[in-house]
A = this chain, B = another copy of it.
């Protein structure tokens, strides 16, 4: 009997030791730093111990949790939705910008700048209820495919980051999205794709109005952008919505700099992670010169601030959740 127990223990030990919480991460400094941080803040005997209530981890979405090339996926959705709306009612495309958008002419929108973008967003994202809007996003996710990978967009989430989110939650963290992407857009897939429930998704939002007809209230999406959850907007939104300073933050662009700065400037143990897009073969390689996901400040200042710079090509054995 005793021998059997001993044998079982010997048999089990390596299994327990080798349980890797981040199996898609290559052996690397990045992985070691992340695991060492989580070990320290969750060990009640460590001087760096943090209570579960304060284990808040925040992540950007575009380029951090899923891909963002050749253009933010939400913009692709907006253009596809305009095309669909125009099939039912051609008068939807009332301007040259909207016509170009419905034809998938990205250059026209880029050339039109901020005004063109808002025009496309207003036409595709307002004038309907939040429920109707989210149903249209869900339908699009079910059918649309990325032009380069052929994958559904919600399978272009990064497997190593999905593992990191799960690992953090297993260790008592609450994981939040804090993204420049649309709040209502992201909530459609965040729970299935990342295990992040609606109340832990923060993002850019349009105004909404509360309307009652025949005693039945509806919340409608209004035109215009009420809050931009980017740059300084990120720590402002975190303070307003969560009311605690995170102890871990992840991002990939200068739009995330303030969020990572705010996180790591707090007292006690803090970790900032920057995903550096270095993998032209399996994903895309871009940073300082990219119009999307531009990363300058993070590369210049992050290392001195002790931030973990993830080298996607080196540090990740696998890229997409969907396939690779």
Question: Residue A219 contacts which of B205, B212, B219, B235 (CB distance < 8 angstroms)?
Answer: B235
A128 within 8 A of B: no
* Interface set, chain A 257-289, CB cutoff 8 A to B: 258, 261-262, 265
Minimum CB–CB distance from A239 to chain B (whole Å) comes to: 5
Q: Which of A53, A217, A242, A261 has its CB near the most chain B CB atoms (within 10 A)?
A: A217
Q: Which of A30-38, A160-168, A193-201 binds B?
A: A193-201
Does A105 interact with chain B (Cβ within 8 Å)? Answer: no
- How far is B51's CA from A197's CA once the two chains are assembled, in angstroms? 13
Select from chain B the residue with minimum beta-carbon distance to A264: B217
- Which residues of chain B come closer than 8 Å to A244, judged between CB atoms? 198-199
Contacts of A3 in B (CB 8 A): none
Q: CB of A157 within 8 A of chain B? A: no
Residues on B with C-beta less than 8 A from A201 are 243
Nearest CB of B to A233, in Å: 8
For residue A136, give the distance in angstroms from its CB to the closest CB of chain B: 17
> A132 — which chain B residues lie within 8 A by C-beta?
none
Are B210 and A232 in contact (CB-based, < 8 A)? Answer: yes
Residues of B within 8 Å of A216, CB to CB, are 265
Would you list which residues of chain A between 176 and 211 have a CB under 8 Å from chain B?
Answer: 183, 187, 197-199, 201, 205, 208-210
What chain B residues lie within 8 Å of A205 (beta carbons)? Answer: 240
Q: A187-B243, A243-B187 are in contact. Are A210 and B198 (CB under 8 A)?
A: no
Is the C-beta of A324 less than 8 angstroms from some C-beta in chain B? no
Q: Complex: how many Å from CA A158 to CA B89?
A: 56
B210 near A235 (CB under 8 angstroms)? yes
- Contact partners of A53 in chain B: CB under 8 A: 197
Q: Please tell me if the beta carbons of B235 and A217 are within 8 angstroms of each other in the complex.
A: yes
- List, in ascending order, chain B residues with CB within 8 A of A243's CB: 183, 187, 197-199, 201
Chain A 48-72 interface mask (CB, 8 Å, partner B; 1/0): 0000010000000000000000000
Expressed in whole angstroms, the Cα–Cα distance for A258 and B215 within the complex equals: 11
A258 neighbours in B (Cβ, 8 Å) = 210, 217
Q: List 14 A-B contacts (CB under 8 A).
A: A183-B240, A183-B243, A198-B242, A198-B243, A199-B242, A208-B240, A210-B232, A210-B258, A210-B262, A216-B265, A217-B262, A219-B235, A219-B239, A219-B262
* Chain A interface residues toward B at CB < 8 A: 53, 130, 183, 187, 197-199, 201, 205, 208-210, 212, 215-217, 219, 232, 235-236, 239-244, 258, 261-262, 265
The 7 closest A-B pairs by CB, nearest first: A198-B243, A210-B232, A199-B242, A219-B239, A210-B235, A217-B262, A208-B236
Q: A130-B239, A208-B240 are in contact. List 19 more A-B contacts (CB 8 A).
A: A53-B197, A197-B243, A198-B243, A198-B244, A199-B241, A199-B244, A205-B240, A208-B236, A208-B239, A210-B232, A210-B235, A210-B236, A212-B261, A216-B265, A217-B262, A219-B235, A219-B236, A219-B239, A241-B241
